[in-house]
Amino acid sequence: AECLSRAKHYEILNFLTTATFDDFEGQRENSEKLFKSGDHVRTLEGIPVAVKDNFCTTGVKTSCSSHMLNNFYPPYNATVVQKFIDNGAYVMGKTNMDEFAMGSGTVDSIHGPVRNPWTFNLPDVSDITEIKESDWLIAGGSSGGSAVAVATGSCYAAMGSDTGGSTRNPAAYCGIVGLKPTYGLVSRHGLIPLVNSLDVPGIMTRSAEDAAAVLNVLAGHDILDSTTLQTPHNHIELDAEPNVADLHIGIPKEYHAPGLSAEMLAQWDKVIEMFEKAGAKISSVSLPHSQYSIVCYTVLCAAEVASNMARYDGLEYGKRATEAEKSTEMLYATSRHQGLNEVVRGRILAGNYFLLRRNYDQYFMQAQRVRRLITEDFNNVYSQGIDLLLTPTTLTDAPSFGEFTSEDNMTQSQQQDVFTQPVNLAGLPAVTVPVGLSPRGLPLGLQFIGKLKAERTILNAAKWLE
Ligand code: GLN
């Protein structure tokens, strides 16, 4: 009840697309059979959680913040949603996002932008009525709604999705923990795809311990997602007092990237020093191909988007334009024009261009090769005895809407993914942790990147820092 009243209190932040508060009892009944069956322990009993509006929820609208799906009531639950319910959690709402998870600000949503609770450093945003839209800070994206749900204490955990940073970026801007699990550790069944080979459900919480608890519930093979790992998930128990003295931490030298703010750099150095003092071994390492990850991601993302979005034809599936001429082509074109925003349409166009037979090798295949090189860089570093890498999560603290959407910032907003995208391309786990405040009083996040399936190592390191 406390959580729900917080959610109402912070309504002005626009982080929910659908509140499902009233369905609580219904959700419980649905999984009643399972409880009665005996030996099932409900580890999240009574815990409120929120899920991004790109996870399917039975009978509850799943819009992807797009006109195309604004009338979509799925007939089934995504595996992660079902696991939440089966473990006694209450799904309290669907969270606002960038349309089809394309973006890093949660500013491109048909439901309007999500606002960051740290705006003006005021914990009590309910007093704020007169703020120019451009002065609000962005929540980050594309899972901005989920980050705000957790940051405001409206729920205990929230699901985001992470294709190129969409869980870690908003978690960093909102001062919470954001975990991107190893690719395939958590089922994507019922998560509306952005880039199938990069997407993972992401977990947002206020502590590393909570993230481990949620991961333990959600991880594991799913017959409904053939890309999930076959090996059983080993229950993660974090150390009561993590010891970092045995850790060998790599600091990728190329991650001193253009645009990295002085305060982020200072915070990064400070934390490196803390680890060093605690006895950890620190080494400078090289990930030479990471610098190409933005272009590589751009090509792969557009190509998969072009193919994934073809299903929204307004005929079988998606919004149907009513005033189109009788021809199927017109109906298709008009429905897609009305149903999808410019970002989405732009990526579809670019993707189809990259996939043309004459361009295929030069763009798509080339991007696949670069992806392999980026992955090999990580493997090399880990084979030298490094246990985990420590990097910033974003270049700066949260910008305002005005800054973020200004013309000259367009490239900079893409560049914000520079530390997160290589991790998706390599399928590795990573977690962002809040490490302090910038001089403006806004949260800064650092990221630990682990080896495949080494969630326990990175979460322990995160817990030590908290
Ligand atoms: N910002 C990236 C994009 O726009 C990543 C999004 C994501 O991880 N879903 O595609």
Q: What is the pLDDT of residues 341-358, one digit of tens each?
A: 999 999 999 999 999 999
Average pLDDT taken over every residue of the chain: 91
Span 403-409, average pLDDT:
78
Token pair listed for 374:
């980026």
User: Which atom of ligand 1 is found nearest the CA of 101?
Assistant: 9
Which residue among the candidates 66, 154, 166, 290 is catalytic per the annotation?
A: 166
Which residue among the candidates 31, 52, 453, 463 is catalytic per the annotation?
A: 52
User: Which atom of ligand 1 is found nearest the CA of 416?
Assistant: 1
Q: How far apart are CA 242 and CA 220, in angstroms?
A: 25
> Please, are residues 167 and 161 in contact by the beta-carbon 8 Å criterion?
yes
> Please, are residues 214 and 205 in contact by the beta-carbon 8 Å criterion?
yes
> Please, are residues 77 and 85 in contact by the beta-carbon 8 Å criterion?
yes
> Nearest 5°: phi and psi at 360?
-55, -50
Q: How far apart are CA 187 and CA 200, in angstroms?
A: 8
Give the percent of the chain with pLDDT over 90: 76
Nearest CA to ligand 1 atom 5: 164
66, 102, 432: residue to mutate for ligand 1 pocket, most atoms within 8 A of CB: 102
Assess whether 52 carries a catalytic annotation. yes
Q: How far apart are CA 371 and CA 419, in angstroms?
A: 15
- Torsion from C-alpha of 196, 409, 66, 5, nearest 10 degrees: 100
Half-sphere exposure of 412 (CA within 13 A, CB side): 16
Q: Select the highest-mean-pLDDT range: 169-173, 291-295, 307-311.
A: 169-173
User: Which atom of ligand 1 is found nearest the CA of 143?
Assistant: 9
Which residue in this structure is represented by tokens 């949603």? 81
Is 187 a residue whose pLDDT tops 80? yes
Beta bridge partners of 443: 437
At residue 39, the pLDDT reads: 57
At residue 4, the pLDDT reads: 85
At residue 261, the pLDDT reads: 94
Nearest CA to ligand 1 atom 10: 102
127 vs 398: which has the higher pLDDT: 398
Element holding 249 (H helix, E strand) = strand 248-252
At residue 135, the pLDDT reads: 84
Span 249-278, average pLDDT:
96
At residue 32, the pLDDT reads: 57
Is 389 a residue whose pLDDT tops 60? yes
Distance 301 CA to ligand 1 centre (A): 9
Give the percent of the chain with pLDDT over 70: 91
Span 254-278, average pLDDT:
96
pLDDT digits (tens, 9 = 90+) for 190-200: 999 999 999 99
Distance 195 CA to ligand 1 centre (A): 9
Is 46 a residue whose pLDDT tops 90? no
At residue 27, the pLDDT reads: 63
At residue 144, the pLDDT reads: 98
Cis preceding linkage at 142, omega within 30:
yes
pLDDT digits (tens, 9 = 90+) for 101-151: 999 999 999 999 999 999 865 555 555 666 778 889 999 999 999 999 999
User: Is residue 200 lining ligand 1, measured as CB closer than 6 Å?
Assistant: no
The helix/strand count (H/E) of the chain reads as 16, 11
Which residue among the candidates 142, 146, 187, 293 is catalytic per the annotation?
A: 142
User: Is residue 101 lining ligand 1, measured as CB closer than 6 Å?
Assistant: yes
User: Is residue 300 lining ligand 1, measured as CB closer than 6 Å?
Assistant: no
Token pair listed for 306:
């072009």
Q: How far apart are CA 338 and CA 351, in angstroms?
A: 19
pLDDT digits (tens, 9 = 90+) for 59-70: 999 999 999 999
Span 269-289, average pLDDT:
98
Span 211-218, average pLDDT:
98
User: Is residue 140 lining ligand 1, measured as CB closer than 6 Å?
Assistant: no
ipTM greater than 0.85, yes or no? yes
Per-residue confidence band for 95, with pLDDT thresholds at 50, 70 and 90: very high
Nearest CA to ligand 1 atom 4: 103
Half-sphere exposure of 314 (CA within 13 A, CB side): 21
Distance 394 CA to ligand 1 centre (A): 13
User: Is residue 394 lining ligand 1, measured as CB closer than 6 Å?
Assistant: no
Span 284-305, average pLDDT:
96
- List, as own/partner pairs, every contact residues 316-322 make where C-beta atoms lie below 8 angstroms and the sequence separation is at least 24, other chains included: 318/68, 318/69, 318/72, 319/67, 319/68, 319/69, 319/70, 319/71
Phi-psi region of 46 (alpha: psi -120 to 50; beta: other; left: phi over 0): left
Q: How far apart are CA 354 and CA 322, in angstroms?
A: 32
Span 172-201, average pLDDT:
98
Residues in the chain: 466
Other beta carbons within 10 Å of 275: 20
Distance 297 CA to ligand 1 centre (A): 9
At residue 336, the pLDDT reads: 85
User: Is residue 54 lining ligand 1, measured as CB closer than 6 Å?
Assistant: no
User: Is residue 102 lining ligand 1, measured as CB closer than 6 Å?
Assistant: yes
User: Is residue 165 lining ligand 1, measured as CB closer than 6 Å?
Assistant: yes
User: Which atom of ligand 1 is found nearest the CA of 102?
Assistant: 4
Which residue in this structure is represented by tokens 């391309």? 425
Please give the model's pTM, rounded to 2 decimal places: 0.94
Q: Which stretches of 219-261 are DSSP H helices?
A: none
